[in-house]
């Protein structure tokens, strides 16, 4: 017996090039039928009139903080934030304590995610033991435990020899190594983009080249080894240019960009506003435009949140001491609509490719589509809804957002996982007007 | 003529409206002039046999110095005492500042003791701003990282005005580690707002990116950058030297202090390039034989000790203005 009917919405499924008014039938947790009109036949019906019905978003870059810093976030609070933001799958980064450098931590995260029962949590393991950049982890064990990729995120793999060996060895598993591209010596001591604003504020800058020299090195190593490198959170025009050329040459390289790097520049720091302290730093308007262009022409494969929750007391410090990172899961869609769809940089279908289809492919997951027979992971979007970001209403424990108080268009109306409607989108915001 | 008279009147009637003094970037030229005028009226207090007026009686000032300092701390302390304020000094050693307490927690505790003015020095840029947003007490920035040191720049402007009779139209060269200098930044804002032409000089490693655009926010000319010492000396009315810190060598910013002196040190020979009435200024402490030779530091052009003296009057003025007390003239009248 059919269990759930999503009726009357605009179904956008880039993988099948479907974009139009359809009913979607979910049966036993799987997508059973998509037709212009389906009879309810006793199924519970969700009226999706005026809504977009899209494959649930997949975040390649989420910091869940558990185990180790449960005061910043837990798997439960992070997963709740994810579904509020329309994400049905999130990839947990390995910079926990202990780091995800052996099977036990992978299992622990999977078990807790299972208990929570919200977004699907995939695990990114560490490339080196303790993320210290010295000794490789047991890649085979980590991939057997279910890791979808490996990364030392938060730290780069700085040693070129080690990165070469990692890329070579990872070829056995056909999975990407996610590089946090940052030359540690060039970035040392820096807290924001190096430019006019760092000069004005007397803050130590991180030049764009701290990222681009590492991107250039790893592209050369990918060419040498045939390995698959995925660059996390790109921030500058130089990196986009290098990756564009590398893709033309046919190298196996993928990359992501965050909503905040697409929406903001270093000007958001204003008078030492730590809500705009992220790593890599927010850069210039020219960089922001280059990132959007990279997204448009396919150089940048996907959008990932780099959701990096911190406690208020840590962020309410001087700019040097405050940690890098912001809460991103619950604002990602609205920021992308405001920054990309409304100005006409991307169509809705292209945005869904960047939020769902492509990250699922990179993570090697079945999701990201509304194909018949796949597990139902569906997000309903109200594309016209205006709302104001209120971080205190976030489900995430991290209440720090550079978008606080900003009006956004487009919000998640509901998330369907299997036969369940797990999120109505309330709470993360207050409605403004209408 | 009428326009000039109107401007003068506007200056005379300017009132201090800010709770805090965080930097010179956010001040108007009128506000800077008001501080300098107020300092002028306080200067003679330190020349009296009884160096004290009751202007801030009953007010509590806290010197909250997270970074070691001698001259700035003592200058603020004496300034507060000469205005009859109560002053408490807090330094890192032997206090909760060294026990990992957050800055805001320290300040919340001080606020619970009902203090009126917090004078803050910190190695991190922006700490006074962080505190000012949260505290009811007035905050005076006594130097934050490489960001600003507004009272130093005010006393520099005051000294230039005293010696030259004006700031407007003068050529001021700031020489040394511009990248890491809060004194340079505050002086760039203060001097350009008062109409001086500012040149910064040093090796490219000590020059922060886009520094030439600083000071141009209000439509001003910005800053001229040169790496050649001779061109910074020629035609300058004021040479302002900055301290070269030994740790800069370790960061590979200058190959050696010897090399720095050879290219950028102010020696008596190099001063022959300067105008005959040039002023030599330095915020101290001087690295004798590095940025400044002793013969120049102690020579006839040096006004380094006048800067220290004037610092007292300027800090009295700033304490007085942010305390929101009525103006001196009104009190007397």
Q: Which residue has the higher pLDDT, A424 or A289?
A: A289
Alpha helices in A171-236 (DSSP H): 184-187, 196-201, 209-225
Interstrand relation of A420-423 and A4-13 (parallel, antiparallel or unpaired): unpaired
At B68, the pLDDT band (50, 70, 90 cuts) reads: confident
What are the extents of the domains in chain A?
4-53+374-431, 56-362
Closest CA to B156 of B105, B192, B209, B130: B192
Q: Spelled out in words, what is the top-level CATH class assigned to the domain A4-53+374-431? A: mainly beta
For residue A133, pLDDT beyond 90: yes
Decide if B213 is inside a domain.
yes
Q: How many CA atoms lie within 13 A of B69 on its CB side?
A: 27
Domain encompassing residue B219? 150-308
Statement to judge: residues B257 and B220 lie in one domain: yes
Statement to judge: residues B100 and B29 lie in one domain: yes
Instruction: Report whether the peptide linkage leading into residue B105 is cis, meaning its omega lies within 30 degrees of zero.
Output: no
> Which secondary structure element, helix H or strand E, spans residue A292, and what is its range?
helix A285-296
Statement to judge: residues B193 and B245 lie in one domain: yes
CA distance A315 to chain B (A): 11
Statement to judge: residues B210 and B132 lie in one domain: no
DSSP secondary structure code for residue B171 in this structure: E
Which pLDDT tens digit goes with each residue over B90-116?
987 766 666 778 899 999 999 999 999
Q: What phi and psi values does residue A101 have, to the nearest 5 degrees? A: -120, 10
The CATH number given to whatever domain includes residue B143 is 3.40.50.1370
* Whether A201 and B122 lie within 8 Å, measured CB to CB: no
Interstrand relation of A407-417 and A377-389 (parallel, antiparallel or unpaired): antiparallel
* Whether A196 and B213 lie within 8 Å, measured CB to CB: yes
- Name the percent of chain B in helix, strand, coil, to the closest 5: 45, 15, 40
**Chain-centre distance of CA B247, in angstroms?**
23
Angle at the Cα of A138 from the Cα atoms of A133 and A139, rounded to 5 degrees: 90
Statement to judge: residues B304 and B315 lie in one domain: no
Statement to judge: residues B139 and B171 lie in one domain: no
The burial of A165, by beta-carbon neighbours within 10 Å (0-12 exposed, 13-18 middle, 19 or more buried), is given as middle
Q: How many CA atoms lie within 13 A of A137 on its CB side?
A: 33
Distance CA B166, CA B147 (A): 26
For residue A171, pLDDT beyond 80: yes
Query: Domain A56-362, CATH 3.90.480.20 — does that match?
Result: no
Statement to judge: residues B176 and B302 lie in one domain: yes
Which pLDDT tens digit goes with each residue over B19-37?
999 999 999 999 999 999 9
> Can you tell me the mean pLDDT for B225-234?
97
Q: Which two tokens stand for residue B28?
A: 């108007």
* Whether B125 and A318 lie within 8 Å, measured CB to CB: yes
Distance CA B21, CA B34 (A): 13
Decide if B333 is inside a domain.
no
* Whether B182 and A272 lie within 8 Å, measured CB to CB: no
Closest CA to A313 of A74, A72, A124: A72
Decide if B217 is inside a domain.
yes
CA distance A274 to chain B (A): 10
Say whether A56-362 and A4-53+374-431 share the same fold. Answer: no
* Whether A196 and B210 lie within 8 Å, measured CB to CB: yes
Which pLDDT tens digit goes with each residue over A234-288?
999 999 999 999 999 999 999 999 999 999 999 999 999 999 999 999 999 999 9
Q: What pLDDT sits at residue B331? A: 43
Q: What pLDDT sits at residue B215? A: 77
- For B23, the closest chain A residue by CA position comes to A201
Angle at the Cα of A291 from the Cα atoms of A289 and A292, rounded to 5 degrees: 65
For residue B220, pLDDT beyond 80: no
Residue located via tokens 């050369």: A220
Which pLDDT tens digit goes with each residue over B124-167?
999 999 999 999 999 999 999 999 999 999 999 999 999 999 99
Statement to judge: residues B92 and B178 lie in one domain: no
Q: Which residue has the higher pLDDT, B4 or A222?
A: A222
Chain B residues in contact with chain A using a Cβ-Cβ cutoff of 8 Å? 25, 102-104, 122, 124-127, 129-130, 144-148, 182, 185, 208-211, 213-214
Q: What pLDDT sits at residue A149? A: 98
Tell me the whole-structure pTM to 2 decimals: 0.93
Q: From chain A, pick out residues whose CB is under 8 angstroms from the CB of B124.
A: 318-321
Q: Which residue has the higher pLDDT, B248 or A81?
A: A81
**Chain-centre distance of CA B73, in angstroms?**
13
Number of compact structural domains in chain B: 2
At B3, the pLDDT band (50, 70, 90 cuts) reads: very low
- For B211, the closest chain A residue by CA position comes to A199
pLDDT, mean over chain B: 90
CB-CB contact of A34 with A18 (8 Å): yes
Q: What pLDDT sits at residue B5? A: 41
Which pLDDT tens digit goes with each residue over B280-309?
999 999 999 999 999 999 999 999 999 999
Statement to judge: residues B227 and B217 lie in one domain: yes
At B251, the pLDDT band (50, 70, 90 cuts) reads: confident
Distance CA A252, CA A254 (A): 7
CB-CB contact of B119 with B154 (8 Å): no
Alpha helices in chain B (DSSP H): 2-13, 29-43, 71-82, 103-112, 127-134, 150-164, 182-193, 229-233, 247-250, 257-264, 294-297, 304-322, 328-332
DSSP secondary structure code for residue A323 in this structure: P
Decide if B135 is inside a domain.
yes
- Name the percent of chain A in helix, strand, coil, to the closest 5: 35, 25, 40
Distance CA A113, CA B244 (A): 55
Residue located via tokens 């180790």: A68
Statement to judge: residues B159 and B267 lie in one domain: yes
Statement to judge: residues B295 and B157 lie in one domain: yes
Q: From chain B, pick out residues whose CB is under 8 angstroms from the CB of A199.
A: 208-211, 214
Q: Give the count of beta carbons closer than 10 Å to the beta carbon of residue A247.
A: 18
Which pLDDT tens digit goes with each residue over A176-190?
999 999 999 999 999
Q: What pLDDT sits at residue B149? A: 98
> Which secondary structure element, helix H or strand E, spans residue A62, and what is its range?
strand A57-62
Which pLDDT tens digit goes with each residue over A36-82?
999 988 899 999 999 999 999 999 999 999 999 999 999 999 999 99
Whether A323 has its CB under 8 Å from any CB of chain B: the answer is no
Which pLDDT tens digit goes with each residue over A142-162?
999 999 999 999 999 999 999
At A395, the pLDDT band (50, 70, 90 cuts) reads: very high
Give A259's strand partners: none
Which pLDDT tens digit goes with each residue over A220-231?
999 999 999 999
Q: From chain B, pick out residues whose CB is under 8 angstroms from the CB of A321.
A: 124
For residue A337, pLDDT beyond 50: yes
For residue B57, pLDDT beyond 90: yes
* Whether B209 and A205 lie within 8 Å, measured CB to CB: yes
> Can you tell me the mean pLDDT for A130-134?
96
> Can you tell me the mean pLDDT for A285-293?
98
**ipTM greater than cut 0.85:** yes
Q: From chain B, pick out residues whose CB is under 8 angstroms from the CB of A200.
A: 25, 185, 214
Residue in A199, A313, A320 closest to B124 by CB: A320
């Amino acid at each position: 017996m059919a269990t759930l009917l999503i009726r009357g919405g605009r179904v956008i499924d880039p993988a099948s090039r479907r974009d139009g008014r359809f009913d979607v039938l979910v049966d036993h947790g799987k997508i059973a039928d998509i037709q212009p009109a389906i009879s309810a036949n006793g199924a519970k019906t969700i009226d999706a009139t005026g809504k977009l019905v899209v494959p649930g978003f997949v975040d390649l870059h989420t910091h869940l903080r558990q185990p180790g810093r449960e005061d910043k976030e837990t798997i439960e609070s992070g997963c709740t934030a994810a579904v509020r933001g329309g994400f049905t799958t999130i990839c947990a980064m390995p910079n926990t304590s202990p780091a995800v450098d052996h099977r036990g931590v992978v299992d622990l995260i999977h078990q807790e995610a299972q208990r929570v029962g919200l977004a699907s949590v995939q695990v990114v393991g560490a490339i080196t033991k303790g993320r210290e950049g010295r000794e490789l982890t047991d890649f085979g064990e980590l991939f057997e435990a279910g890791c979808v990729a490996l990364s030392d995120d938060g730290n780069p793999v700085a040693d070129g020899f080690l990165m070469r060996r990692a890329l070579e060895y990872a070829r056995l598993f056909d999975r990407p190594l996610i590089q946090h591209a940052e030359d540690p010596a060039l970035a040392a001591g820096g807290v924001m983009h190096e430019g006019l604003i760092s000069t004005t504020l007397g803050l130590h800058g991180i030049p764009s080249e701290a990222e681009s020299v590492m991107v250039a090195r790893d592209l050369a190593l990918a060419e040498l080894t045939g390995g698959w490198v995925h660059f996390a959170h790109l921030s500058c025009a130089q990196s986009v240019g290098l990756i564009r050329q590398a893709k033309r040459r046919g190298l196996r390289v993928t990359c992501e960009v965050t909503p905040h790097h697409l929406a903001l520049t270093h000007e958001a720091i204003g008078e030492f506003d730590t809500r705009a302290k992220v790593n890599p730093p927010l850069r210039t308007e020219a960089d922001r435009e280059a990132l959007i262009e990279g997204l448009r022409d396919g150089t940048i494969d996907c959008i990932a949140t780099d959701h990096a929750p911190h406690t208020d007391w840590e962020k309410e410090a001087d700019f040097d001491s405050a940690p890098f990172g912001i809460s991103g899961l619950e604002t990602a869609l609205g920021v992308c609509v405001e920054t990309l769809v409304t100005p006409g940089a991307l169509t809705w279908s292209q945005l869904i490719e960047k939020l769902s289809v492509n990250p699922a492919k990179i993570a090697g997951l079945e999701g990201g589509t509304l194909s018949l027979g796949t597990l139902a992971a569906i997000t309903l979007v109200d594309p016209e809804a205006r709302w104001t970001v209120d971080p205190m209403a976030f489900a995430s424990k991290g209440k720090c957002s550079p978008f606080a108080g900003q009006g956004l268009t487009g919000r998640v109306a509901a998330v369907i996982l299997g036969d369940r409607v797990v999120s109505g989108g309330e709470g993360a915001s207050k409605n403004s007007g209408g | 003529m009428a326009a000039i008279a109107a401007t003068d009147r506007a200056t005379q009637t300017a009132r201090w409206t800010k709770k805090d003094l965080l930097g010179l970037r956010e001040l108007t030229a009128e506000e800077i002039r008001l501080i300098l005028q107020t300092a002028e009226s306080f200067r003679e207090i330190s020349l009296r046999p009884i160096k004290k007026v009751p202007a801030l009686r009953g007010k509590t000032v806290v010197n909250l110095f997270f970074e070691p300092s001698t001259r700035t701390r003592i200058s603020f302390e004496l300034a507060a005492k000469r205005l009859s304020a109560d002053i408490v000094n807090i330094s890192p050693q032997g206090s909760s500042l060294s026990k990992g307490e957050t800055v805001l927690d320290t300040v919340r505790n001080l606020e619970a003791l009902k203090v009126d003015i917090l004078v803050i020095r910190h190695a991190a840029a922006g700490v006074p701003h962080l505190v000012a947003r949260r505290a009811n007490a007035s905050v005076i920035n006594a130097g934050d990282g490489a960001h600003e040191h507004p009272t130093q720049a005010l006393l520099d402007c005051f000294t230039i005005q005293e010696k030259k009779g004006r700031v407007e139209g003068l050529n001021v060269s700031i020489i040394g580690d511009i990248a890491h200098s809060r004194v340079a930044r505050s002086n760039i804002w203060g001097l350009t707002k008062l109409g001086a032409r500012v040149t910064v000089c040093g090796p490219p490693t000590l020059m922060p990116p886009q520094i030439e655009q600083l000071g141009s926010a209000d439509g001003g000319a910005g800053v001229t950058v040169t790496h050649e010492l001779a061109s910074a000396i020629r035609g300058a009315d004021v040479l302002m030297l900055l301290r070269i810190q030994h740790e800069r060598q370790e960061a590979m910013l200058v190959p050696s202090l010897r090399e720095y002196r050879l290219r950028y040190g102010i020696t008596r020979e190099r001063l022959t390039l300067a105008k005959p009435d040039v002023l030599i200024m330095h915020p101290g402490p001087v690295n004798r034989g590095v940025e400044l030779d002793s013969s120049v530091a102690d020579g006839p052009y040096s006004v380094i000790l006048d800067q220290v003296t004037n610092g007292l009057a300027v800090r009295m003025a700033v304490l007085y203005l942010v305390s929101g007390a009525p103006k001196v003239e009104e009190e007397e009248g």
